[in-house]
């Protein structure tokens, strides 16, 4: 008797008072089947009607890059004779925040749970493997790019998946621009755990798309060339006639997914959650996993009565690929975690609409005022006021152009009336007021962003060290919400990367060397051996069974922070008596960056 027969024997077919047809309809809806074209079109239609936050995000990114004057503003300033000046104070402010992230960055660390199956050596070995994956995949750079987008526009994305190129690192941790990602707007959780779908629009050259999915080469070539020369009656045997009908009847705009001029096609990578009905196993530890009847271990545990099994309704993540309205394929998520492989880095979100925004939103208004005030002030300083009678000069246009020169040479009309006046007065009467208002706008940028001059290494009105530290602490408190969201998302990246590393380590035995010099120790993962007491075959440090969690280390790993630690430890050592200084010598060497400090 197999495991499925044991379960089915105890499972009632129809509940009391429920019609069989109604139950069959519910069961049909809860099947783990593919996403339909109508659902895809509904997702894309909903995305098109989401709040237009992307235009504001693009504007914030432009302000950081220094593109702060629109075409209409420049034309207006030119008509007035004002110089189109830009004094970009947003960029150094944001760069200060990004520098703080790089200076206080922490590593991922694997910690064992208190269940008796994990040890500190095993956790250290897994932490080292995770660190190697972090370095090889350049995860720190990708996360920093996502944090930059989080600060600027309010949203950044990280993809954590497997690399398809065999010559690269097997793990892909990559920053994805916001233009490619759209998600379920009804989602409220910061990790999108309650989101129905997530769509990534990937524009690919025709040869790239064909190399990626060669089985759809004919479809890609036909749709990119707008089905030129295609006859559905003659080519019906190729299977393209149905695709031609789908493209003709779809509600999607052709410009959204194909580019005839550049020979490009847009592939929709759709991750979605679907409610399914299946069997789950409750382990003696209290955790619940999905029952896999193709897994020999699961069947043995069920038959032996070591686990409790029953039916349940739960969500599963699936992946569907579409080329516009054309269905390509739909599979169950290739990852063991029940999450989307795209992690959002949210800055702030509007309470009413949920639209993301960053630090630049509050700085746009004072930045506009700074640019306007500075242009007005310089124009006022360079202007001249001329008071003249009509007969004072012969050519008023030529005289007006000459007056604007610092070395003006003006000839008055010798036939003018003796009472005629010609007077040139320098401008700049309101320049002082313009300058004062501009300085107030500069202070407003610091107040709205929370990044004060001491944090940027600039001088401020604070005279004492206590006042400077108070301003720095105030800025860090202002950025607490933003950085808390960042740490939450960074930990999610580490968890998904560790899930891939753990899955690879479970395939066989591996040796991990921890530490250097005399403190080096060796940990063998998935070591196969025999139990001396029972004589049974067991596996030591079984990675597939171990329970661990990924956290952020308490101590930053940047060179600047290590140098500060080394300096503090050196000062403490020098303050001790000479007979006690030798006791701290090993700790001082360990804190240094000397290459052979552990020998």
Kindly state whether residue 446 falls inside one of the protein's structural domains: no
Backbone angles phi, psi at 316, to 5 degrees: -130, 145
pLDDT band at residue 468 under the 50/70/90 scheme: very low
**487 pLDDT higher than 80:** yes
**CA 258 and chain centroid, separation:** 27
Interval 174-190: pLDDT, tens: 999 999 999 999 999 99
**Domain final position from 357, 392, 423:** 357
Residue 160 lies in a domain: yes
Alpha carbon separation from 22 to 25, 274, 371, 519 (Å, rounded)? 5, 20, 67, 67
Q: Within a domain: residue 265?
A: yes
**What is the tens place of the pLDDT at every residue in 19-50?**
445 555 556 667 777 888 889 989 988 998 88
pLDDT exceeds 90 at position 536: no
- At residue 23, the pLDDT reads 53
Say how many domains are in the chain.
2
Looking at every residue in the chain, the average pLDDT score rounds to: 81
Range of the domain at 174: 3-77+136-357
Assign 6 a pLDDT band (cuts: 50, 70, 90): very low
Percent of the chain with pLDDT over 70: 80
Q: What is the pLDDT of residue 269?
A: 95
Count of beta carbons in the 10 Å neighbourhood of residue 1: 7
State the pLDDT confidence band at 1, using cuts at 50, 70 and 90. Answer: very low
Taking the mean position of all CA atoms in its chain, how far away is CA 128?
A: 25
Where does a domain end: 357, 375, 410? 357
Look at residue 569 and tell me whether its pLDDT is greater than 90.
no
Tell me: pLDDT of 570 over 60.
Answer: yes
**Residue 113 scores a pLDDT above 50:** yes
- Residue 460 has a pLDDT of 55
Cα Dmax for the chain: 126
Tens-digit pLDDT profile for residues 58-88: 999 999 999 999 888 888 888 877 888 888 9
What per-residue confidence (pLDDT) applies to 540?
80
Q: CB under 8 Å to 267, separation ≥6 — which residues?
A: 201, 202, 204, 209, 212, 321, 322, 323, 328
Token output for 402: 């000459």
Whether residue 552 lies inside any domain: the answer is no
Q: How far is CA 211 from CA 93, 204, 220, 227, 320, in A?
A: 44, 11, 11, 20, 18
pLDDT at 235: 62
Give Cα 499 distance to the centre of its chain: 19
More confident residue, 501 or 24: 501
Place 10 in a pLDDT band, splitting at 50, 70 and 90: very low
Q: Considering only 49-58, 236-245, 457-466, which range has the smallest mean pLDDT?
A: 457-466
Higher per-residue pLDDT: 173 or 74: 173
Task: Please state, in angstroms and rounded to a whole number, the distance separating the CA atoms of residues 347 and 370.
Answer: 25
Report if residue 348 sits inside a domain: yes
Give a yes or no: residue 456 inside a domain.
no
| Domain boundary, last residue among 332, 357, 382 | 357
What pLDDT does residue 384 have? Answer: 72
What pLDDT was estimated at residue 444? 75
The pLDDT, as a whole number, for residue 598 is 57
Give residue for tokens 């930045």: 367
Summarised one tens digit per residue, pLDDT across range 304-341 is 888 889 889 999 999 999 998 899 999 999 998 889 99
Q: Is residue 109 part of a domain?
A: no
- Gyration radius from the chain CA atoms: 34
Cα–Cα distance, 546 to 498 (Å, whole number): 13
CA–CA separation, 592 and 146 (whole Å): 31
Which pLDDT value is given to residue 192?
94
Residue 509's pLDDT is what? 84
Average pLDDT over residues 548-559: 74
Tell me if 549 is assigned to some domain. no
Task: For 221-260, give one letter per residue: b (16+ CB within 10 A) or e.
Answer: bbbbeebeebeeeebeeeebbebbeebeebebeeeebbee
Mean pLDDT of 512-525: 80
Tens-place pLDDT, residues 405-443 = 777 778 787 788 888 888 877 665 666 676 777 777 777
403-430 burial, b at 16+ Cβ within 10 Å, e below that, comes to eeeeeeeeeeeeebeeeeebeeeeebee
Res. 14 pLDDT band, cuts 50 70 90:
very low
Q: In the beta sheet, which residues pair with residue 551?
A: 109
pTM of this structure: 0.82
Determine what percent of the chain is predicted with pLDDT higher than 90: 31
* pLDDT number for residue 181: 96
């Amino acid at each position: 008797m197999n495991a499925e027969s044991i379960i089915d024997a105890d499972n009632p077919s129809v509940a009391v008072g429920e019609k069989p047809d109604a139950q069959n309809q519910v069961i049909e809806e809860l099947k783990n089947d593919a996403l339909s074209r109508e659902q895809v079109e509904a997702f894309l239609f909903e995305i098109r009607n989401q709040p237009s936050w992307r235009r504001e995000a693009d504007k914030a990114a432009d302000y950081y890059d220094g593109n702060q004057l629109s075409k209409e503003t420049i034309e207006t300033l030119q008509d007035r004779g004002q110089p189109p000046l830009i004094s970009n104070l947003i960029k150094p402010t944001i760069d200060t925040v990004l520098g703080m992230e790089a200076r206080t960055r922490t590593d991922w660390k694997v910690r064992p749970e208190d269940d008796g199956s994990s040890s500190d050596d095993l956790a250290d070995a897994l932490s080292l493997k995770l660190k190697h994956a972090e370095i090889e995949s350049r995860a720190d750079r990708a996360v920093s790019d996502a944090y930059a987008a989080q600060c600027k526009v309010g949203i950044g994305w990280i993809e954590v998946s497997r690399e398809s190129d065999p010559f690269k690192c097997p793990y892909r941790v990559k920053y994805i621009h916001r233009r490619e990602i759209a998600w379920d707007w009804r989602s409220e959780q910061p990790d999108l755990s309650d989101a129905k779908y997530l769509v990534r629009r990937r524009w690919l050259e025709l040869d790239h798309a064909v190399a990626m999915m060669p089985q759809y080469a004919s479809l890609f070539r036909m749709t990119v060339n707008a089905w030129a020369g295609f006859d559905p009656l003659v080519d019906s045997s190729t299977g393209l006639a149905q695709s031609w009908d789908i493209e003709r009847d779809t509600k999607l705009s052709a410009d959204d997914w194909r580019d005839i001029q550049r020979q490009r096609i847009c592939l929709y990578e759709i991750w979605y959650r679907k409610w399914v009905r299946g069997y789950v196993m409750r382990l003696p530890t209290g955790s619940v996993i999905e029952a896999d009847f193709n897994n020999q271990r699961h069947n043995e545990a069920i038959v032996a009565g070591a686990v409790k099994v029953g039916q349940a309704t739960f969500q599963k993540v699936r992946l569907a690929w579409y080329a516009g309205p054309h269905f390509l394929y739909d599979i169950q998520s290739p990852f063991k975690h029940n999450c989307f492989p795209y992690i959002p880095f949210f800055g702030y979100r509007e309470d009413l609409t949920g639209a993301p925004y960053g630090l630049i939103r509050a700085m746009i208004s004072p930045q506009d005022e700074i640019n306007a005030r500075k242009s007005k002030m310089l124009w006022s300083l360079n202007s001249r006021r001329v008071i003249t009678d009509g007969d004072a000069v012969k050519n008023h246009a030529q005289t007006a152009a000459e007056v604007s020169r610092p070395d003006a040479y003006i000839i008055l009309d010798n036939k003018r009336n003796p009472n005629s006046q010609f007077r040139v007065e320098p401008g700049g009467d309101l320049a002082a007021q313009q300058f004062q208002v501009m300085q107030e706008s500069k202070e407003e940028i610091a107040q709205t962003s929370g990044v004060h001059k001491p944090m940027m290494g600039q001088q401020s009105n604070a005279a004492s060290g206590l006042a400077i530290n108070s301003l720095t602490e105030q800025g860090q408190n202002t950025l607490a919400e933003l950085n808390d969201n960042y740490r939450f998302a960074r930990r999610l990246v580490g968890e998904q990367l560790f899930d891939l590393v753990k899955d690879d380590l479970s395939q066989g035995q591996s040796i991990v060397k921890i530490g250097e010099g005399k403190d080096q120790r060796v940990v063998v993962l998935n070591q196969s051996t025999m139990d001396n007491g029972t004589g049974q075959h067991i596996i030591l440090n079984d990675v597939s069974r171990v329970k661990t969690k990924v956290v952020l280390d308490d101590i930053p790993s940047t060179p600047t922070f290590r140098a500060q630690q080394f300096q503090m430890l050196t000062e403490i050592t020098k303050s001790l008596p000479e007979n006690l200084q030798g006791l701290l010598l090993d700790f001082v060497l360990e804190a240094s960056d000397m290459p052979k400090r552990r020998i």
